[in-house]
């Protein structure tokens, strides 16, 4: 036990100790993951609901560790943010995703690539004035058309350091890059932000889509978001679409795009290419 002060002798319980050990092990391995080439991107289609065509792919990171097996992003993105490793990892994700999108563009399949940018990642970059530089570098290096890149940010990004955030997003927007708000509806951003920031797309969080067929509140929320997005001329993507009946409801709203297991799980690049060829080239 570590003595932190009066009555605090129990600070490290055995459970916490093993959790801490797990974390240390994870951090140790994560530091080497980039060099060892253990990170991979999977891609999940974003589909136009009325004709079923793929219009974009979201890049989702996976970590194939030699000792721990496949580690999902929810298990290591937080750690990457805390340690600052999210900066090189985020740059790798952006570069890899844009390279892939450029390859698809050259193959006659010019679809959008959506890349996630977590809140802490955004602000770490921003503090270091790196975010814009990285985006510029990657676009130059990969020669991807900027309008084929969409950055997925969270509502929380819109609520901190308003002025610098607005600056950064405007600069990114001026490059021609698209900006979308991920997990929309789960944060606490005020709706006026939707007008103030240079946004292109809202992604309705999958928690609202899940019970859309049975839960009247969820239906009301999705209807309201759809109507609002239409008024604000924002594109709308429903996340977590898993079956036809959810799709039917969404199609009846002004929600034009869907993403979810119903269309495809996130898949490795080669499989994603096959899906694209099927969708776009017949």
Beta carbon of residue 108, minimum distance to Ca ion (angstroms, whole number): 26
Q: Which residues are bridge partners to 59 per DSSP?
A: 43, 115
Q: For residues 157 and 87, give the distance between their C-alpha atoms in angstroms, rounded to a whole number.
A: 16
Q: Does 242 bind ligand C2E (CB under 6 A)?
A: yes
Only one of the segments 46-54, 170-178, 212-220, 238-246 lies at the binding site for ligand C2E (rule: CB under 6 A); that segment is 238-246
The structure tokens listed for 84 are: 């600052």
240's contact among Ca ion, ligand C2E, none, with CB below 5 to 8 A by partner kind, is ligand C2E
Q: Which of 47, 240, 250, 257 binds ligand C2E (CB under 6 A)?
A: 240
**Backbone torsions φ then ψ of 223, nearest 5 degrees:** -60, -45
Q: Does 183 bind Ca ion (CB under 5 A)?
A: yes
> Which residues fall within 8 angstroms of residue 82, CB to CB, at 6 or more apart?
120
Q: For residues 158 and 160, give the distance between their C-alpha atoms in angstroms, rounded to a whole number.
A: 6
Q: Which of residues 112-151 bind Ca ion (CB under 5 A)?
A: 116
Q: Does 155 bind Ca ion (CB under 5 A)?
A: no
Please work out the total of residues on this chain that contact ligand C2E, with binding judged by CB under 6 A. Answer: 21
Q: Does 65 bind Ca ion (CB under 5 A)?
A: no
Q: Which of 65, 100, 105, 118 binds ligand C2E (CB under 6 A)?
A: 118
Helix and strand numbers (H, E) in the chain are 11, 10
Only one of the segments 10-18, 122-130, 164-172, 232-240 lies at the binding site for Ca ion (rule: CB under 5 A); that segment is 232-240
Q: Does 260 bind ligand C2E (CB under 6 A)?
A: yes
CA atoms within 13 A on the CB side of 37: 0
Residue identified by tokens 């951003």 is 189
């Amino acid at each position: 036990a570590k003595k932190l002060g009066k009555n605090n002798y129990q600070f490290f319980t055995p459970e916490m100790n093993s959790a801490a050990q797990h974390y240390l092990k994870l951090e140790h391995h994560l530091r080497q993951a980039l060099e060892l080439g253990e990170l991979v991107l999977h891609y999940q289609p974003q589909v136009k609901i009325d004709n079923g065509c793929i219009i974009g792919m979201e890049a989702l990171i996976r970590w194939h560790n030699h000792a721990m097996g496949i580690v999902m992003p929810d298990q290591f993105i937080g750690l990457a943010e805390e340690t600052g490793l999210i900066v090189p990892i985020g740059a790798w994700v952006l570069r890899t995703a844009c390279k892939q999108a450029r390859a698809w563009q050259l193959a006659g399949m010019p679809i959008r690539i959506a890349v996630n940018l977590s809140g802490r990642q955004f602000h770490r970059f921003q503090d270091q004035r790196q975010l814009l530089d990285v985006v510029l570098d990657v676009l130059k290096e990969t020669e991807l058309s900027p309008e084929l890149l969409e950055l997925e940010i969270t509502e929380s990004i819109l609520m901190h350091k308003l002025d610098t955030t607005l600056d950064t997003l405007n600069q990114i927007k001026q490059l021609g890059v698209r900006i979308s708000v991920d997990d929309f509806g789960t944060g606490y951003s005020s709706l006026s932000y939707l007008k103030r920031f240079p946004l292109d797309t809202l992604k309705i969080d999958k928690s609202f889509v899940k019970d859309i067929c049975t839960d009247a509140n969820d239906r009301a929320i999705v209807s309201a978001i759809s109507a609002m997005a239409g008024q604000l001329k924002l594109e709308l993507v429903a996340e977590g679409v898993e079956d036809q009946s959810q799709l039917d409801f969404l199609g009846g709203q002004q929600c034009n795009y869907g993403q979810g297991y119903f269309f495809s799980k996130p898949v490795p690049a080669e499989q994603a290419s096959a899906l694209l060829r099927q969708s776009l080239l017949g």
